[in-house]
Amino acid sequence: MLFITYLCRYADSCWQMAYKHDAEGNLEDGSLELLRLAVETGHRLKVLIDGAITVEPDQINVRGGHINAQILGLVSKQDLKTFTDDVFWDWRVLTTTGTETSEYFNIGEYFNRGNTVKRKPMTWFIDTRTWNRVLVNDKDGVVLAGTKQQLIDAILLGAEVRYKLTFTSNAIMHQADNLEISADGNVGAMHVRSVSLKFTPGSPHEVTFQNSPYWWFTIVSTTGKVDISRWTVGEHVNRRHTHLFVQVEWFVSF
């Protein structure tokens, strides 16, 4: 066990199974509460689907106690070794209820090739690295726990940074794609790997893709501000530039 811990500390990550369910979302092994708690305290996530494909989410939504994993890192392929001749995006939302929602878009243009909704068994894994909560700021930037300097020190030492945005009816987890430290001691985290989602009609747990999706670019700062730039998928069409203010929890891992 000591040797495994040592390896995990110096490897990219070690993983453990947290939750396994059937196609109807019924528990087969592990704990949904364990999975949710790990996600909401900064841990990374992987999902096994079809018994053969593993994916790591680009965005995680927690709604009604369930986990929704947005997957943007897939394109069409014929088989294990070969892309399709006419490659298209294969975007998915995987949910611990057993629902898999897929949207298929042409690459480089706004054309929806269709969508599917399926029920699938899934296995969910969490990384076992230590993630430390170093800062909580409210929507006005007031520090509720930790310090901004702790976050800055971790960034300057090369730490990975993940953060939780808390809204009234759900929470969103992101990993920073890039980070910037300002002269006044604040931090801004940019995330560009998200596409617009909506609450699934009739479900208290699930989210799904919007009918006319757009890229959902965000800059989250320790002032509590979330700046949002929206651009139509496949087209250079501005779908609004707005901002809001939310509570943010910041987690770091070395």
Residue pLDDT, tens place only, 103-162: 999 999 999 999 999 999 999 999 999 999 999 999 999 999 999 999 999 999 999 999
**50 pLDDT more than 90:** yes
**Which residue ranges make up each domain of the chain?**
14-127, 132-253
* Residue 2 confidence (pLDDT): 41
Q: What is the pTM of this model?
A: 0.93
* Residue 13 confidence (pLDDT): 65
209-219 per-position pLDDT tens digit: 999 999 999 99
Mean pLDDT on 34-60: 98
77 with 89: CB under 8 angstroms? Answer: no
* Residue 12 confidence (pLDDT): 56
168-205 per-position pLDDT tens digit: 999 999 999 999 999 999 999 999 999 999 999 999 99
